Structure 1
Amino acid sequence: MKKQTLNKQILLTGGGTAGHVMVNLALIPLLKEAGYHIDYIGSYDGIEKDLISPIEGVTYHAISTGKYRRYRSIENIKDPFKVLNGIRQSVQLIHKLKPTIIFSKGGFVSVPVLIAAKLTRTPAVIHESDLTPGLANKIAMPFAKKILVTFEETLKYVDEKKAAFIGAVVRPELFEGSKQQACQLLDFNPNEPILLVMGGSTGAKHLNEFIRSQLEVLTKKYQVIHLTGRGLMDESITHPRYRQFDYVKAELNDLLTSADVIVSRAGANAIFEFLALKKPMLLIPLPKRVSRGDQVLNAQVFEQAGFAKVLDEDELSATTFFETLTQIEQETPEIKARMAKRDAKDAIHHVLETIRAHEKHESS
């Protein structure tokens, strides 16, 4: 019988967007409680550095990483060399830190880490949030021992022999939000409806511009919270029923809890959090012409389940937007009833169990 090592050392990775960090953020408190020493590999200047570096008990290590661009750029020539350097740096870190397991949430920073895991014979577990795997996870999956997926349909796109459907990983602190605290922060009336607009951590220029163009009508009915994305606020707009933030962290749970309706892109982590909070949503996914189409697929699944209404960005107009918003208002009791019936899995604990089952042992 294999004896588990006393060195409970885990290496986390993932970044590029907040969605590639959120599962790690949910996992970190459980890992601490289980006695793991935690290190994190991310990029030099990605959002993961901002989110992870301040966490006590987690050591952040930056490496060189590439990026896939859907346009011509001299950087596309440089990137293979950046990835090779990132592999070298990751191998050095793994030899130094001696992790018993690596857990990856995806994003291009994870690719050199997973290749290094294979080179150093360190077991790795990957989590895929979207319905179809992104390019980074497609590259990294052959180097992993186990693949965990959020959508059951994703099993068709991965190696089923080492894949497991676990459902959505939702941060436990998500349910600790307070509408009262949000309204105090915003100076909003808690008895009037609140609409929250979220474009994702990197923002959504078209969606931001559209919402601002409709504020006169929107604010007659709703108090509006607008999460614009970093550097995308418009300081010239002031309105007693409109509040904008480029990015929020500590206050996000309160803001989400306060919302009666959410207008958002369709990143998997975000929409599953809305679902967990039973928030009716109008999804405007990132279009295929500027993405790989994962958000379109995520949104379709939620629409088919009756959790959301979906608008194609190319069809977004004042008419279609307000017609769809009215449908959501009218169907809110039915939408919430369907959400309440959803079979929610205890996914975060499944992740922890998988990590424990696949980490290195002294006799390995």
Structure 2
Amino acid sequence: MKTIVLTGGGTAGHVTPNIALIPSLREDGWDIKYIGSYNGMEKELITRENIPYYGISSGKLRRYLSKENLKDPFKVMKGYFEACRLLKKIKPQVVFSKGGFVTVPVVLAARTLGIPVVIHESDMTPGLANKIAMRGAKTVCVNFEETLKYVGDKGVLTGSPIRKELLTGDKEKAYRLCGFKQIKPVLLMMGGSSGANTINVALREALPELLKRFNIIHICGKGNLDEAKLNVEGYKQFEYANAELADLFAATDMMLSRAGANALAEIVALNIPSLLVPLSAAASRGDQILNAKAMAQKGYCKVLFEEDLTADSLVSNIKELDMHKESYIQAMQKDTKISGIQKVMKEIQKVMKEIQKHS
């Protein structure tokens, strides 16, 4: 049986594309294993999929000064030797890496052992982990055409794998889950797996005005529920959405979102008009700003920068998005309908055929 090791972690965006691939990999006859960090969020998400999970040590690749930077090279080195032992034991034909700091020791170990690696980069510009890992990769799948110039001859434009179940949600089920009594357009706010505090605050301040026009679903992040607003009619909060996310998407007419690449791929696949508030450059490497600008240039969305975010600016931008939502939908519908799953699977199969040809 042919075996593949998936790796990726740190955020949901580094895990859910791997999960999206699992059904197609199974259909294609792959035995699937997963290597992640000892106790990262990826462990919980992957074990739900009944995939054998192996934890390794991993250090965080920081771009800022911290005492932890002194320890992390040793954590990465420990993870490298652990990954070598695991890969020798598992004997995969291919490693597929979605990114995140835990993937660095896995990809380096695969390179040492001569195991071909396929990497997926979702953002406009490669993150530090993928920059390091690319040196040992056979193929680098990318989400944006603009990314190809950063990855050289190894780059292939595939888009991002999207879980098929997200396309088959039940709108009526979402209405019952949220307890909405009035039929209004639904605005969904999603800030990523850890939430987005500045957007949470602005949205809650804007509720009196926005609720006149919309029912609002607010995925606010773990620990960010506002107890005082649990019974506000037309406003439903979730810390995190997993099984119910497809239904929530089916009910959604417009989105307010961060600009993480995985969320953007889902927005485009579902043709949902969106207002993006990318994470500021002060709090990140600026990848979300580049992602959002690329989306806006294609006519897929509106962008409101975090520095300009207030309750008033949020309301005015949501109203403008609502007025022109059909143009955003039409722009996204022109995008390719060949799924990212199919394109990534093609690259994995291509690597496997090369292995078989030389064996």
The TM-score with structure 2 as length reference comes to 0.96
Taking only aligned residues, the RMSD between alpha carbons, in angstroms, comes to 1.4
**Deviation for aligned residue 1:361:** 3.4
Secondary structure of 1:275's counterpart equals helix
Q: Does 1:122 align with 2:115?
A: yes
Superposition misfits of 4+ residues, deviation over 6 angstroms: none
**Deviation for aligned residue 1:303:** 0.8
Q: Does 1:235 align with 2:221?
A: no
Contact 1:180–1:190 at 8 Å: present in 2 too?
A: no
Secondary structure of 2:24's counterpart equals helix
Cα distance between partner residues in 2 of 1:154 and 1:27: 21
Contact 2:142–2:158 at 8 Å: present in 1 too?
A: yes
Residues 36-87 of structure 1: CA distance to partner in whole angstroms, max 9, x if unpaired?
111000112211111101212x101111001133443322111111000000
**Deviation for aligned residue 1:108:** 0.5
**Deviation for aligned residue 1:223:** 1.3
Contact 1:195–1:262 at 8 Å: present in 2 too?
A: yes
Matches within 5 A, 1:275-294: 275-294=268-287
The aligned residue for residue 356 of structure 2 is 361
The aligned residue for residue 269 of structure 1 is 262
Q: Does 1:297 align with 2:299?
A: no
Cα distance between partner residues in 2 of 1:244 and 1:71: 34
Contact 1:167–1:345 at 8 Å: present in 2 too?
A: no
Secondary structure of 1:361's counterpart equals helix
The aligned residue for residue 320 of structure 1 is 313
Q: Does 1:211 align with 2:211?
A: no
**Deviation for aligned residue 1:362:** 8.3
**Deviation for aligned residue 1:211:** 1.3
Aligned partner letter, 1:345: I
Contact 2:8–2:97 at 8 Å: present in 1 too?
A: yes
**Deviation for aligned residue 1:236:** 2.9
Q: Does 1:15 align with 2:12?
A: no
Q: Does 1:42 align with 2:36?
A: yes
Cα distance between partner residues in 2 of 1:278 and 1:30: 23
Residues 8-35 of structure 1: CA distance to partner in whole angstroms, max 9, x if unpaired?
1110000111111121111001111111
Cα distance between partner residues in 1 of 2:331 and 2:345: 29
Q: Does 1:202 align with 2:194?
A: yes
Q: Which runs of 5+ in 1 are unaligned?
A: 1-6
**Deviation for aligned residue 1:320:** 1.8
Q: Percent identity?
A: 48
Residue 90 to residue 150, structure 1, CA distance change in 2 (3 Å): same
Aligned partner letter, 1:221: R
The TM-score with structure 1 as length reference comes to 0.94
Q: Which runs of 5+ in 2 are unaligned?
A: none
Residue 319 to residue 237, structure 1, CA distance change in 2 (3 Å): closer
Secondary structure of 1:214's counterpart equals helix
